[in-house]
A and B are shown apart, each in its own frame.
Chain A
Amino acid sequence: MNQSHDDAASPAATTGLGSGSPSTSDDTTDPVASDARPSVAKPYRLQFEDAQNAWVLLYPEGMVKLNQSAGEILSRCDGERCVSDVVSMLEAAFDQQGLDGDVKGFLSVALQQKWIQLA
């Protein structure tokens, strides 16, 4: 997958939380299609934690603390919206263009970790 934009276009860079885009060159990750509808998979639960000022994924005996861009992406994955809807929403919310590669890159990692499922 080629990235048609520089890092400054990612939501993470906008908010100063470091790179939110994992490597997309990993051959073992499946590409995530634009019309796929991602949602948080069982047994994970996504919620915003005031005490940590972050979105977290809870699972039996564990927690994944998400950085802001990961949280902004996952919190929009409700199983109804497709990937391109999520990308458009993020681009509008952060006044950015070309987030497609970053979002799909993160979602393919999330899929590999089994945090999400696609419909």
Chain B
Amino acid sequence: MNEDTEPTGSTTPTTSKSASSAPMMTMSAAASTRLPTSGDGERPGPPLWLLAELTYRCPLHCAFCYNPVDFARHEDELDTEGWLRVLNEARALGSVQCGFSGGEPMLRDDLPVLVAEAHRLGFYTNLLTSGVGLTEARADELQAAGLDHVQLSFQDSTREANDFLSHTKTFDLKNKVELKVLEERKAVIAEVQEVTEKIAQMSEFQALDTDKQARITARIDSHKAGLETVTLIPVLRDRANGARTNLLADAVNELDRLARPTTAPEPQPGMSDRPATALRPPTTVLASKLKVKAPKTLLTDEADVDQYLEEMKKTLLTEIRAGKRVIVN
């Protein structure tokens, strides 16, 4: 495989000794069922990309588009069954990436069916859309069908140029989709901020010198580094979730480590080759990760609540008596 052809995309891993990245190839929607052979008879790799141009219909009429202009003949489009056959054939050839494109693929009512089949077959599924017609309900439906990735096209960042280039008034609509991404990004920042505030309130943190405080703050802040380039909503949700579940515990452990006295213990006979700071098990535990032995699955009255709280108290005290500190997050 060529090492000089990097796949394009938002995340482009570099090659390493242990893994090589393969270039992506495109193939037309009409998949041949036989692999081509090169002149010297050597068999090339499988066609990795299936770009499925589901329709030439489009609500936009962009001046620069490569779309054929005689798309009035859209009755000639492949029907659902035809596309399902193409998906199966391409997957059998070894295609791994499927791009649903057009025209505007959102105009196909059978899109969720096609996405679901592509996902079932093992494709990494991408939707290339103008965002017109991408309501939250449809986005949820497509995600449930197994859609992995959405590419939203933008004609311009200004209303004037967007609406001029696309010959439509779609600027506000596209903005709405972008706003959803911004909202998810803000959720990550809010989670990180909450961790920062909780840590700042801890007496152990306040007792540290400013240098160590800065190190901990920087460690927390690194969780939101590069956020502005992340456009994938699942990734943003994952980040927010990570901040919620792991970041506070991580920061408390780091705080613990920095707050510990740095003087080495008295060397003992036979122990001289041991590192001065032996690894200690984590001294903190997340409250949300503790399993409370609930007496009932459904709590319906005050007695149930009292009983549950009693069990929770036991669980928490067990941890504390074992030398742990419980983080409430």
Binary B-proximity of A53-79 (CB < 8 A = 1, otherwise 0) = 000111111111111011000000000
How distant is the Cα of A17 from the Cα of B126 in the complex, in angstroms? 32
Instruction: From known contacts A62-B7, A62-B24, A63-B7, infer whether A109 and B93 are also in contact, taking CB-CB under 8 Å.
Output: no
Asked if B18 contacts A62 (CB within 8 A), the reply is: no
How distant is the Cα of A70 from the Cα of B246 in the complex, in angstroms? 27
Among B8, B18, B21, B232, contact of A22 (Cβ-Cβ < 8 Å):
B18
Asked if A60 contacts B10 (CB within 8 A), the reply is: yes
Asked if B46 contacts A115 (CB within 8 A), the reply is: no
Question: Does B149 reach chain A (CB closer than 8 Å)?
Answer: yes
Question: Does A23 reach chain B (CB closer than 8 Å)?
Answer: yes
Instruction: From known contacts A22-B16, A42-B235, A119-B246, infer whether A63 and B21 are also in contact, taking CB-CB under 8 Å.
Output: yes
Asked if A61 contacts B96 (CB within 8 A), the reply is: no
Asked if A19 contacts B96 (CB within 8 A), the reply is: no
Asked if B235 contacts A43 (CB within 8 A), the reply is: yes
Asked if B8 contacts A67 (CB within 8 A), the reply is: no
Question: Does A114 reach chain B (CB closer than 8 Å)?
Answer: yes
Asked if A64 contacts B124 (CB within 8 A), the reply is: no
How distant is the Cα of A101 from the Cα of B307 in the complex, in angstroms? 49
Binds B, one of A1-9, A44-52, A92-100: A44-52
How distant is the Cα of A49 from the Cα of B18 in the complex, in angstroms? 18
Asked if A67 contacts B20 (CB within 8 A), the reply is: yes
How distant is the Cα of A49 from the Cα of B45 in the complex, in angstroms? 12
Asked if B18 contacts A20 (CB within 8 A), the reply is: yes
B residues in contact with A117, CB < 8 Å = 242
How distant is the Cα of A107 from the Cα of B25 in the complex, in angstroms? 29
Among A41, A45, A57, A62, contact of B9 (Cβ-Cβ < 8 Å):
A62
Asked if B18 contacts A106 (CB within 8 A), the reply is: yes
Asked if B7 contacts A52 (CB within 8 A), the reply is: no
B residues in contact with A115, CB < 8 Å = 13
Place the interface of chain B in its size category: 35 or more
Asked if A63 contacts B24 (CB within 8 A), the reply is: yes
How distant is the Cα of A67 from the Cα of B149 in the complex, in angstroms? 26
Asked if B22 contacts A63 (CB within 8 A), the reply is: yes
Question: Does A25 reach chain B (CB closer than 8 Å)?
Answer: no
Question: Does B97 reach chain A (CB closer than 8 Å)?
Answer: yes
Binary A-proximity of B12-35 (CB < 8 A = 1, otherwise 0) = 111011111110100000000000
Among B7, B22, B93, B234, contact of A61 (Cβ-Cβ < 8 Å):
B7
Instruction: From known contacts A45-B148, A62-B7, infer whether A113 and B13 are also in contact, taking CB-CB under 8 Å.
Output: yes
How distant is the Cα of A23 from the Cα of B97 in the complex, in angstroms? 31
How distant is the Cα of A51 from the Cα of B47 in the complex, in angstroms? 10
Task: Closest A residue to B20 by CB, please name it.
Answer: A65
Instruction: From known contacts A63-B21, A106-B18, infer whether A42 and B124 are also in contact, taking CB-CB under 8 Å.
Output: no
A residues in contact with B13, CB < 8 Å = 62, 64, 113-115
A residues in contact with B18, CB < 8 Å = 20-22, 66-67, 69-70, 106, 109
Among A41, A61, A106, contact of B97 (Cβ-Cβ < 8 Å):
A61
A residues in contact with B242, CB < 8 Å = 117
Among B14, B20, B96, contact of A49 (Cβ-Cβ < 8 Å):
B96
Task: Closest B residue to A58 by CB, please name it.
Answer: B124
Closest 8 CB pairs of A and B: A51-B94, A62-B7, A61-B9, A58-B124, A60-B149, A62-B9, A22-B17, A51-B46
Given pairs A62-B21, A65-B22, 15 additional interface contacts (CB within 8 A): A51-B93, A52-B45, A58-B148, A59-B11, A60-B10, A60-B148, A62-B12, A64-B22, A66-B19, A67-B20, A69-B18, A109-B16, A109-B18, A113-B13, A114-B13
